[in-house]
Structure 1
Amino acid sequence: MKIKAYKLVFLFTILLVISCKGKEEAKHETTQNEEEVVKQPNIVVLLCDDLGYGDLSSFGHPVIETKHLDKLAETGIKLTNFYSTAPVCSPSRAGLLTGRSPNKAGIYDFIPGLKKSPDNRDLVHLQAHEQTIPAILKSVGYSTCLVGKWHCSSRFNSDAQPQPNDFGFDHWFATHNNAAPSHKNPSNFVRNGEKVGEIEGFSSQIVVDEAINWLEIKTDDNPFFLEVTFHEPHEPIASPEDLVQKYLPKAKNREEAEYFANVENVDLAVGRLLDYFEKNNITNTLIVFSSDNGPETFMRYERAKKSYGRPGPLKGMKLWTNEAGFRVPGIINWIGQETFTGTSDKVVSALDFLPTFAELAGAELPDRTLDGESFTSLLNTGNFERTKPLIWVFYDAINQRRAAMRKGDWKIMARLVDENNEELPQLHNLYDGNEALVKHAKLTDFVLFNLTKDINESEDVSAQNPEVFQDMKATFQLEYKNLLDESHVWVRAE
């Protein structure tokens, strides 16, 4: 009996040790989890509107001063092969928010104000089922805010279509499209569904004021996601007079001086936000800066009289599927965290924001295939080799070849023709009235460029590189078919 008692005592002791060890491990695991939550970075997206690849001094502009953005690039990562998700505003923003080609969301062109259209363009909006960056980050404890331009719905500030708060933004202060009547004293901002009325000042400074105020009144200790979508330098351009006077001696005319001043005013607004972070010891903050598309063409339409944006060495402008349409300045800077620093020629896209931010925040990815991929390795080591090609199909492109794909050093482009080999008309939208035309169209007249050797796409090298050309062509046709199969078609309900 004594032996059995000893055995019971021994067994009890073992169980007690195991129990204590389990509690310690659980406690350690809880501590680790708490540390992981603490390590979630704040994430800030700064997005300009119509800023060209050559419009920052750090990207080669000889006149415009952008010292705050230049410093972000100098102390972070300057991306020379960064791409927006479309060569025009609305689809570009939809692609950024969802990590998927905007064609899959059914946003093919800029979204006009509400006006019934025979091609169902008035129906276009970011649909409620789309899974977005703020919603995903909100699911793991982030507070979220949008300030600036929305432009993802035809019915802005209406219950008829989802609004920014329906996609995960706790706080939003936005306009449908441009600041109106101009960047100066805009009167069309809406804050969380309530019209604000005229606000004194310039749009870039106003949206940063709102961002800072939101951070000031934020009562929780959650990490934050802040999207600052500047209206500048999109028309109608208006700039502070002191900055205009500064640039007049260096510009062709007053209109160009206003453009130069407009870009610097954005830089000054960014500087104010960075100063706020520094003064309030807001660290562990990942900042990405870019543009929604390339620069507007001077006088493409009547109000574009101050559109003096520059594409740098790139071919084309906004609305082109040549490089200047969607290759834009890219800057990444992680305040308070050691990362790779320097200039990178790795191919990165705004499509990559969602998977990257999700990985850094510890959030689950959407239950659908993404077109972007995480570039955390770029932050850690400077290395990032994307496995997914980037494809753009913009049916309203100004240039002839409206479909394009980049894979590695190479870019391939093609025309879209119908069954009679006639070029497709320019289209704003894919709807049931043109679905058959678009889906039966084929790619033709391919050209191939080596972008590392020929950044301005001046020489078709398909004949000199037959194996590369055939491989690129086969991949392009497959990617185009897959994109077309998933492209949303707008149908008006009876």
Structure 2
Amino acid sequence: MIHSKHMIAAIAAVLALLSATAVASDRSETPNIILIVADDLGYGELGCYGQQTIRTPRIDQLAAEGVRFTDFYCGSPVCAPSRSVLMTGRSPAHAYIRDNGDFRGGAALKAKQGWEFPGQQPIPADEVTLAEALQQRGYATAAIGKWGLGHCGTSGDPNTQGFDLFFGYYCQRHAHNHYPRFLWRNAEKVEYPGNDGRSLTGATFSQDEFTREALGFIRDHKDQPFFLYLPVVIPHLSIQVPQSSLAEYEGRIPEEPYEHNAYLKHPAPRAGYAAMVTHLDKAVGQVVDLVDELDLSDDTLILFTSDNGPTYNRLGGSDSDYFNSAAGFRGLKGSIYEGGIRVPLVARWTGHIPEGTESHEICAFWDLMPTLCEVAGAECPEVANGISILPAMLGEGSVDDREYLIWEFPGYGGQQAIRMGDWKGVVRNTKRGNRNLELYNLKDDPAESNDVAHKHPDRVARMQELLKADRTESPLFPLQRRRPNRP
């Protein structure tokens, strides 16, 4: 009898070990993914990218424990189209959303859903998002922060686009105040007494709510694969931050007066802006610390990037010149020059990404869909036209050969850009019928200050040919001004 009990116990132990091994094996093939996207954070606003004034020790640590990309680009120089590229994997010349723009067709939905802000033009129902691809692989999914791709009830509703949980701002205009009267949890409003949505301060700072929700989501799903998309609103204007964070910089940075505009006016704008970025850095640290505390670091890929370049100088009190926010690159948010589209990307995946590495691979937002699908073993939608940069992340060599990257942005007069190795072509003012291409050698001229198009006619012709050929026409966001029909 005793022998039999021992035999049964031994068999049970073996079965448990086999089961645990199978679970561990399955788990290793579906690592957690945390994608943190800052809002209007410039390439040069992190310490690991050369920032001298604003302190970002936790993001710098993330880079030191993983990889830092030097030539990574966002999807567009403004918010909504950049997020569209990120979520759908379609490059800017093929994406459905190519510019900011409020949704104009939601009068009935506004009354039914209780909207107070219109939201942006929604992505279509048939788009397959990164969240949907991962959800089909068995991932729990959450988007916490600013969405900008359609309000609840529209075809762009994140709950119908692959996210189990949405928490935050649906509308970018709503997100212009960091002390809102309410946020959204899926289709329900979460009210914040003590916030009036119009004042510089209030009782509840939205970034702190995003952090709290993110930590809760990680704890709730620590035993299953999860995708946490954190499109935070910092450091987008208005300049607002809790006093405890402001105190770290106030009186330590020289201030200059600025003209008030539509955004809330801050009495110490440079200190406030720096404090916002450092406040975000601490939030990133909280997320990383929880991942480590739960012993998930080997099973969690954490990425940090920004949706576009830094905001226009002195708008709303921001001072991109003072902080060297674009790291010497030409242009800011809204510009197709490097300052408007080159953004940070750091990634940590303990035990997989070598520590303290740097990648010079030329890559962009539309590469993250195939990359993260490969990480998760998920099926990447065929319409996604990026390539996986996982080999570059893991330090295993160069990514697949690719001749060029193309941007198309109908805003700010209409702009196109193409990067081919060290060469960058830029076309501006397409709405005025301009087709002339400026040419820059980024290796010799990273600030894009010396147009050498006249010296390289063959290269210019090739770029113009590609800009014309590798695109689809957008009826919603045309690159050229529509001409009236003539009889």
2:405 aligns with: 390
Code of the aligned partner of 1:404: A
2:225 aligns with: 223
Please state how far the C-alpha of 1:55 moved relative to its aligned partner.
0.9
Is residue 2:288 matched to residue 1:281? no
Residues 251-284 of structure 1 show CA distances to partners (whole Å, capped at 9, x for unaligned) of 2321110000000000000001111111111122
Please state how far the C-alpha of 1:243 moved relative to its aligned partner.
2.5
Question: How does the TM-score come out when normalised to structure 2?
Answer: 0.80
Distance 1:173 1:160 in 2: 16
Q: Secondary structure at the match of 1:448?
A: strand
User: Judging changes above 3 Å, is the alpha-carbon distance between structure 1 residues 231 and 175 closer, same or farther for their aligned structure 2 residues?
Assistant: same
Distance 1:75 1:459 in 2: 37
User: Judging changes above 3 Å, is the alpha-carbon distance between structure 1 residues 112 and 97 closer, same or farther for their aligned structure 2 residues?
Assistant: same
Is the 2:417–2:424 Cα contact (8 Å) retained in structure 1? yes
2:149 aligns with: 152
Residues 10-67 of structure 1 show CA distances to partners (whole Å, capped at 9, x for unaligned) of xxxxxxxxxxxxxxxxxx9xx8897255332111110011111111121112110000
User: Judging changes above 3 Å, is the alpha-carbon distance between structure 1 residues 122 and 237 closer, same or farther for their aligned structure 2 residues?
Assistant: closer
Code of the aligned partner of 2:247: Q
Q: Secondary structure at the match of 2:335?
A: coil
Distance 2:176 2:119 in 1: 24
Correspondence 1:287-326 to 2 at 5 A: 287-300=302-315, 304-306=316-318, 308=320, 310-326=325-341
Distance 1:266 1:489 in 2: 34
User: Judging changes above 3 Å, is the alpha-carbon distance between structure 1 residues 455 and 123 closer, same or farther for their aligned structure 2 residues?
Assistant: closer
Distance 1:45 1:145 in 2: 11
Distance 2:65 2:28 in 1: 24
Is residue 2:433 matched to residue 1:445? no
Distance 2:218 2:81 in 1: 29
Code of the aligned partner of 2:373: A
2:415 aligns with: 402
When the two chains are superposed, the root-mean-square deviation of aligned CA atoms in Å is 2.8
Is residue 2:242 matched to residue 1:252? no
Distance 1:279 1:270 in 2: 14
Residues 218-246 of structure 1 show CA distances to partners (whole Å, capped at 9, x for unaligned) of 3x832110001111111112112233222
Q: Secondary structure at the match of 2:52?
A: coil
2:452 aligns with: 461
Please state how far the C-alpha of 1:467 moved relative to its aligned partner.
4.1
User: Judging changes above 3 Å, is the alpha-carbon distance between structure 1 residues 257 and 55 closer, same or farther for their aligned structure 2 residues?
Assistant: same
Code of the aligned partner of 1:305: G
Q: 1:484 aligns with which of 466, 472, 482?
A: 472
2:279 aligns with: 265
Code of the aligned partner of 1:463: H
Is the 1:372–1:388 Cα contact (8 Å) retained in structure 2? no
Code of the aligned partner of 2:425: I
Q: 2:466 aligns with which of 475, 478, 481?
A: 475
Distance 2:276 2:191 in 1: 23
1:192 aligns with: 186
Code of the aligned partner of 1:187: R
1:3 aligns with: none
Please state how far the C-alpha of 1:103 moved relative to its aligned partner.
5.1
Residues 280-303 of structure 1 show CA distances to partners (whole Å, capped at 9, x for unaligned) of 111221111111111111344xxx
1:413 aligns with: 426
Q: 2:238 aligns with which of 236, 257, 261?
A: 236
Residues 320-370 of structure 1 show CA distances to partners (whole Å, capped at 9, x for unaligned) of 1111111111111113424474222211211111101111111112133x2
Q: Greater CA deviation, 192-201 or 68-77?
A: 192-201
Distance 1:457 1:234 in 2: 26
Is the 1:179–1:186 Cα contact (8 Å) retained in structure 2? no
Is the 2:64–2:355 Cα contact (8 Å) retained in structure 1? no
Please state how far the C-alpha of 1:140 moved relative to its aligned partner.
1.0
Distance 1:55 1:138 in 2: 33
Please state how far the C-alpha of 1:386 moved relative to its aligned partner.
4.6
Please state how far the C-alpha of 1:92 moved relative to its aligned partner.
0.5
2:137 aligns with: 140
Structure 1 segments unaligned to the other structure (5+ residues): 1-27, 418-423, 426-440
Question: How does the TM-score come out when normalised to structure 1?
Answer: 0.79
Correspondence 1:4-153 to 2 at 5 A: 35-102=25-92, 104-112=94-102, 114=104, 124-153=121-150
Distance 1:102 1:126 in 2: 14
Distance 1:455 1:109 in 2: 26
Q: Secondary structure at the match of 1:454?
A: coil
Q: 1:168 aligns with which of 162, 167, 179?
A: 162
Distance 1:165 1:354 in 2: 19
Structure 2 segments unaligned to the other structure (5+ residues): 1-17, 108-117, 194-202, 256-267, 479-487
Is the 1:63–1:250 Cα contact (8 Å) retained in structure 2? no
User: Judging changes above 3 Å, is the alpha-carbon distance between structure 1 residues 459 and 490 closer, same or farther for their aligned structure 2 residues?
Assistant: closer
| Number of corresponding residues | 424
Please state how far the C-alpha of 1:466 moved relative to its aligned partner.
4.2
Is the 2:178–2:238 Cα contact (8 Å) retained in structure 1? no
User: Judging changes above 3 Å, is the alpha-carbon distance between structure 1 residues 488 and 382 closer, same or farther for their aligned structure 2 residues?
Assistant: farther
